[in-house]
Each structure stands twice: as structure tokens, then as C-alpha cells.
Amino acid sequence: MAGFGESKDEGGVILSAAKDPYLRARRKIGTDPSPSARLRMTLCIALLLFAPLLQAQDALQVSGFALLRGATHNEGTPLDDNQNAAQVQIGVDWQPSVSFAAHLHLLARDDADRSRRGHAGVVQAYVEQRIRDRWRFTEGAFFLPTSRENVDALWESPYTISSSALNSWMGEELRPIGVDAAYTWRRQLTVGATLFRGNDTFGALPIDRGWALRDHWATLGEWLSAQEGYYTSVSAETDHHLGWSARARWQTQNATLQLTHIDNRSDALDHGQLLNWDTQFEIASLELARGDWTLAAESGWGTTRVFEFPSPIRASYVLLSRRLPIGRASLRAETFNRGHALTAAFFWSPYGHVRTGVELTTTGKDQRLAVEVRYFFGG
């Protein structure tokens, strides 16, 4: 949701947990069986039909998109993603006054990528209050306002088909469920803080599975496979410790600079099918915009720990994009633990509601070509 202006602003690693003898004793468990194709199709159609009915209500706005995507096969690499994908995302926004708003973000997809309860669900659900253009309070489940590339509605990127390794990880493993407060001074300096529950397994994917470049946003209640026998979940609460985050942002008409700290305060212990990771992470981000050009960059670094075994995690990217009369062209270069990638993307939008795109990503050793057609509705 673009309401209140905050939505836009906000390979392996050195030590693998699998090397620990305790973790090698993990037991195998199965994932939930995938629903039938007919059930998935019914859900997608129901969501599309539901949207125009809601839009008839005052103060209620429904928008979103449906997409079809094809990509080359790259199993076991950072470019591993579904070869053929179909997806529907819907945002329901209710704003009865200038000081209050509510947002619901729904998602349905044809492939849950071996996760449990990942075919359809709620991505975000929160309410916001704004006081005199200075204070903003958010309660619920939401994305932290850190990303400089995922700045469109429903936390989508207007620049590329896939997100950077850094923001792919944020979309899969971090969804604060709690309270956020932000104060803006002279419309330029904003400071904010978040207290949240859940996210106890935040840090598992870069270590156990490795970094990935894709757009699999975790839903509440979904369990993503991290490694054989273990899962990661943004909503599962196992140690009853509150996590926290703090940020400071300086913003002018053409520039944004932000620093963010994240600490999930996890106990770093085994909880059955969930293995908690104690993660402290910093993110520095910059965005410069001038005319049709946008330069965006983020750098993240920190440490995650399971039991008594710490591992460093880091990921950074620089993105340059130009808006064209009927589309957009973007180039992104990035590095992450023991890896790097270069992505070029082009979008063509001649018909308003329909956008076609092509993206080529290379890690030097592996390449992925993705083609997408996306239909936007509402708004």
C-alpha cells in the first residue's frame, strides 16, 4: 500500500550449520501434499472476481496483478526458481479518513517450492494511524521499510523481475509481526523503531540453503524448506523473545539515505522442525532520482548464530534504471557470501494494464533467462 508514503521507503557461507554433528542427525519429514491444479485455478479465479466487488465500497480500494512467467532451469544454484509460474496478488486498502488506514495483502501461486502451506495466504495485514504528518503507527504483519528496489505496491520491484539476493531473503524470512512507530521531523528526517514477535528462524536460508534471486514472498503460516528436516517461518513463535529493529532516514526530493538495524533476539536452539537462528543485521541504503533515471543501492552485513556456531552474512547490490516512454530498462550488479550476479531487465508496457518483461541474470557460471507477462487491475 502506498498510503501514508511509507511503503516506498521503507551460495553458501563460511560456516554451514550442517557441519555440526548435532545437525547432521536431522530427521527427514515430508511436506504437505500440493493441492490439485483445479483447486489452485479456482482460488485464482475467485480472487480476481472478488476484487471488483470490493471496489464498489466507499473508502475501499482493491488492486493487484496476475502474472505468467517462464524461466530456464538452474537447480541447486542461486538462480534456482520455478521454470513456469502463475501468481495472483491482491491488495485490499481501506482508508476511511486521512489519519487511519488498513491494508490486507493476499497471494496465490501455483508452486509453493516445497514449502508447507505456501500455495495461498496472507502476506501482510496491518492497520496504520497518522498524527499531524509527523507520527505514524503500524500494528500487524508488514515488511520493514528498508528496500530501495521493492518500492511498488505489494512490495514489488518496478525495475526487475527477480529481486536482489538481499531483498529476496527479506521477502522469504523477515515479516515483523508487532508494532512500528515512526516520527518525521521537517519532512526530511525520519526515525523509527519496531517491536515484533515471530521471525525466530531469520537467518536460516543464507546459511542452510544459500542465497537466492527470486520473488517468493512468504505468507503467514507458511514453512519454507531450509535444509533436509528443517524449515523457516516468519510467523512461528518458539522462544517467546521479542525482536526489535531501529532505523533513521534522511530524505530530500531527489535523494534518500537510510540506516537500519535488525535483531530477532532468537535463542538459537532447536525447536522440533524449526531451528532458531540468532541474527543481528545492518542495512545501509541509498537512492538517487533525477528525471527518468534512478540509482538505488543497499548493503547488508551481520552475523547469525545457531547453538554456539556464528556465521557472517553479507549481501549488497547497485541498481541503475531508466524509465522509457513505453517501458523501463534496468541493470543490477550484486555480491553476496561467496557469490555475485549481474542482472539486466527490460519491461514493455504499451497497453497500460499489461506489462511484458524479459530478464537475463548471470553468476559467471550459471545463467537464467526469464520472460513474464503481468496484468494489473484496480488501483
- Confirm if 11 and 336 have CB atoms less than 8 A apart: yes
Q: How many domains does the chain have?
A: 1
- What is the model's pLDDT at position 57? 57
Residue 344 lies in a domain: no
Beta bridge partners of 311: 304
Please, what is the average pLDDT of the chain?
87
Residue showing cell 518458539 = 238
Nearest to 146 by CA among 279, 289, 284, 275: 284
- What is the model's pLDDT at position 24? 34
Instruction: Please say if the pLDDT value at position 316 is more than 70.
Output: yes
Spatial separation of the C-alpha atoms in residues 30 and 54, rounded to whole Å: 38
Q: Which parts of the chain fold into alpha helices (H)?
A: 21-24, 37-55, 165-173, 204
3-state secondary structure of 284: strand
The answer for residues whose C-beta is within 8 angstroms of residue 118's C-beta and 6 or more apart is: 109, 112, 218, 219, 222, 223, 224
Residue 334 lies in a domain: no
Residue 353 lies in a domain: no
Residue 379 lies in a domain: no
Residue 300 lies in a domain: yes
Pick from 10-24, 52-66, 173-187: least confident: 10-24
> Which band of pLDDT confidence, cut at 50, 70 and 90, is reported for residue 32?
very low
Domain that holds residue 96: 3-67+88-319
Backbone angles phi, psi at 118, to 5 degrees: -110, 5
The answer for residues whose C-beta is within 8 angstroms of residue 188's C-beta and 6 or more apart is: 250, 251, 252
Residue 366 lies in a domain: no
